[in-house]
A and B are shown apart, each in its own frame.
Chain A
Amino acid sequence: MAYAIETKDLSRLFRRKLPLFKRRKSEGEPVGDTQALDKVDLQVNEGELFGLLGPNGAGKTTLIKILCTLLLPSSGYAAVAGHDVTKDPFPIRRQINMVSGGETSGYGLLTVRENVWMFSQFYGIPSKTAKDKIDELMKVFGLWDKRNEKVRGISTGQRQKMNMIRGFVTDPSILFLDEPTLGLDVNAARVIREYVHDWVKKQKGKTVLLTTHYMAEADLMCDRIAIINKGQVLACDTPENLKKKAGQDSTFRLEVDPLKQTEPFSAIAGVRNFSVNSDIVKNTMKLTFILSDESAVSDIMSSVMAQGAKIHSLQKTEPTLEDVFVAMCGRTLE
């Protein structure tokens, strides 16, 4: 079966050009190089809404750039719509589009409608067809009132809606969405999520690859999710299966006074992994523990109290995608 997107052993190394006097070798690798992707294997089926979940610098955008034919892999293979991204980029470009969160593309002196129309022309869409489609999408995304406003005069959220319309107006087979709801208010994000979900599910042959920071977004929207960290895919499954796997462990959340040391937790028997987040407003520390043995809780509490910190709350919770991520990466996405 042909996949909409397929990668095999896909790697990407960014070589950083350093001043001559700073160049030196460290275990065979020049200082400053970044391994953005490391032997990534992925298969995304046609008609799937596939999520890539990972922190900043995990390699999500690098992967999208390679799949969008903007970047060559250092090694390995990647194919989109059955075409090799390295050898055969042109047929891919006709079938894809990409929208990034916080994108500032377009020209400020053009109106919202003109801007989207201009980008549609780069895909050869007849002007009338493009304008009709733009008007339809403007209404769906709640941008109809702003259609004749100059782009430099609209808000960030409105701009992101315009970018989404730019992505959909070319009716791509495969759409890449890189943090599409970044910085949007709840309502605008909801409109976008709903439209993307319906677009994939109500039509045949449409595929979306979505990267996001937001666990709930990935959980809600995606058929399958790949968790990526430091350029490597750590897990790839449905949100339910990922949570089930995490469910074999127990998740405990503690809110305590700020701790001076958190390293001792790693040494406690039964602690699989944990993450730490500070709440500056409440001046507390939030700890999430993934435990293979629940009896470790008493040792954790003893360790907290040994540092003279007060425990504000302790909860055992159902596993979430966040917990899956903590179990694998030892940190949260925030």
Chain B
Amino acid sequence: MTATVNRLSLNLRAMFGRSYPRVIGMQREPSWLFFETILPLLGIAAYVFIYKGFFLGLDADPAANERLNAMIGFVVIGGTMIAFWLNVLWSMASQLYWEKEMGNLALYMMAPMSRMALLAGMAVGGMFMTGTRAIVTLVAGIYVFGVVLTVTSPLLILAVFFVTLIALYGMGMMLASLYLLWGREAWHLSALMEEPIFLVSGFYFPAKALGQSIALGASIIPATLGLDALRQLLFPSKALSGIWILPPDTELAILLVLAVLFLFLARASLAYLEVLARREGRLTSRHQ
């Protein structure tokens, strides 16, 4: 019993310790406020004005207005969730590789903590850091573009949001190990995955517009179903029926499965990575 408590205490401390640089880093670099909130708003604005252009001259039509409000809302929510996707891709997936280059990985590997505590610390720190950016983007987007949200199931919305984050960061934890195995080419993979995922996950439009089969295929990326469910729950208009991939509760169930799956795969790939690191001796050496 004492051993279990000690182990739990060790891993919680380790998780908190590793999340600290990310949490504190945001305060140490005030420039993030400009780069992480104002610039994304410009990207969101571009799509908002495209949608507004389609609806020009239809101000008197309530159905058109409702649809336009939803479309702008989709973009703002998508733009908000992009922050998390970028954080997963650049600050989770690539992170172990950078840790190796910095000389931290060897110290992490020889510490008595669980390696999952290390990844969990990175994820929690990343969620906190990105959550702040996401809230600022969301609030600014809603205020600037006058989006009206309808919150009918707040608990379900929160559940979808947090399960999506857990699944997304679980995916990032899994990719972190794989990227480390692939070495210095890892960041090319991040660059390669960035824009295609923006497209197939429907960050700026309903993913079903790509076709049901593509949307379902893209659902392996948790952001796809997470966005779809959040949009359904925040814009519950009958005028929009038929544009969703699946009902929100089904999407939540799939997200839960994805979260467990990615966390399991992260644990397995990390265990494999450690065996490989010790056997080949190259993963904790820099510049390889």
Whole-angstrom CA separation of A65 from B282 in the bound complex: 11
List 13 A-B pairs, Cβ < 8 Å: A70-B110, A71-B281, A90-B112, A93-B111, A93-B112, A105-B103, A109-B28, A109-B29, A117-B17, A118-B17, A121-B13, A121-B16, A123-B111
Taking CB as reference atom, which chain A residue is nearest B26? A109
Known pairs A72-B278, A104-B102; A124 contacts B110 (CB<8 A): no
Q: Which of B238-288 contact A (CB under 8 A)?
A: 277-279, 281, 284
Of the residues A69, A105, A107, A110, contact of B278 by C-beta under 8 Å: A69
A112 interface residue (CB < 8 Å to B): no
Contact call A70/B284, Cβ cutoff below 8 A: yes
Contact call B102/A124, Cβ cutoff below 8 A: no
Chain A residues positioned under 8 Å from B90 (CB to CB): none
Whole-angstrom CA separation of A90 from B278 in the bound complex: 13
Whole-angstrom CA separation of A263 from B118 in the bound complex: 56
A138 interface residue (CB < 8 Å to B): no
Chain A residues positioned under 8 Å from B24 (CB to CB): 109-110, 114
Known pairs A109-B21, A114-B24; A94 contacts B110 (CB<8 A): no
- Could you tell me which A residues sit within 8 Å of B by CB distance? 12, 14, 62, 65, 68-72, 90, 93-94, 96-98, 103-107, 109-110, 114, 117-127, 150
B165 interface residue (CB < 8 Å to A): no
Known pairs A110-B24, A118-B20; A71 contacts B278 (CB<8 A): yes
Chain B residues positioned under 8 Å from A110 (CB to CB): 20-21, 24
Taking CB as reference atom, which chain B residue is nearest A118? B17
Encode B1-25 as 1/0 by CB contact (under 8 A) with A.
0000010011001101110110011
Contact call A121/B110, Cβ cutoff below 8 A: no
Chain A residues positioned under 8 Å from B278 (CB to CB): 69-72
B113 interface residue (CB < 8 Å to A): yes
- For the complex formed, measure the closest distance between the CB of A63 and the CB atoms of chain B, giving whole angstroms: 12
Whole-angstrom CA separation of A150 from B29 in the bound complex: 12
- For the complex formed, measure the closest distance between the CB of A169 and the CB atoms of chain B, giving whole angstroms: 12
Interface of chain B, main secondary structure: helix
Chain A residues positioned under 8 Å from B102 (CB to CB): 104-106
Other contacts beyond A104-B103, A120-B17, A122-B14: 14, CB < 8 A: A62-B281, A65-B106, A70-B110, A98-B106, A105-B103, A107-B21, A109-B29, A117-B17, A118-B20, A118-B21, A121-B17, A121-B18, A123-B111, A124-B6
Whole-angstrom CA separation of A126 from B25 in the bound complex: 22
Whole-angstrom CA separation of A109 from B9 in the bound complex: 26
B46 interface residue (CB < 8 Å to A): no
Chain A residues positioned under 8 Å from B106 (CB to CB): 65, 70, 98
Chain A residues positioned under 8 Å from B136 (CB to CB): none
Of the residues A72, A98, A124, A127, contact of B10 by C-beta under 8 Å: A124
Chain B residues positioned under 8 Å from A150 (CB to CB): 28
Contact call B279/A69, Cβ cutoff below 8 A: no
Contact call A70/B113, Cβ cutoff below 8 A: no
Q: Which of B83-106 contact A (CB under 8 A)?
A: 102-104, 106
- For the complex formed, measure the closest distance between the CB of B266 and the CB atoms of chain A, giving whole angstroms: 18
Whole-angstrom CA separation of A107 from B9 in the bound complex: 24
Contact call A124/B103, Cβ cutoff below 8 A: no
Q: Which of B22-61 contact A (CB under 8 A)?
A: 24-25, 28-29
- For the complex formed, measure the closest distance between the CB of A211 and the CB atoms of chain B, giving whole angstroms: 15
Contact call A65/B281, Cβ cutoff below 8 A: yes
Chain A residues positioned under 8 Å from B142 (CB to CB): none
Chain B residues positioned under 8 Å from A93 (CB to CB): 110-112
B144 interface residue (CB < 8 Å to A): no
Encode B56-95 as 1/0 by CB contact (under 8 A) with A.
0000000000000000000000000000000000000000
Whole-angstrom CA separation of A117 from B18 in the bound complex: 10
Chain A residues positioned under 8 Å from B110 (CB to CB): 68-70, 93, 96-98
Chain B residues positioned under 8 Å from A68 (CB to CB): 110
Of the residues A65, A70, A118, A123, contact of B112 by C-beta under 8 Å: A123
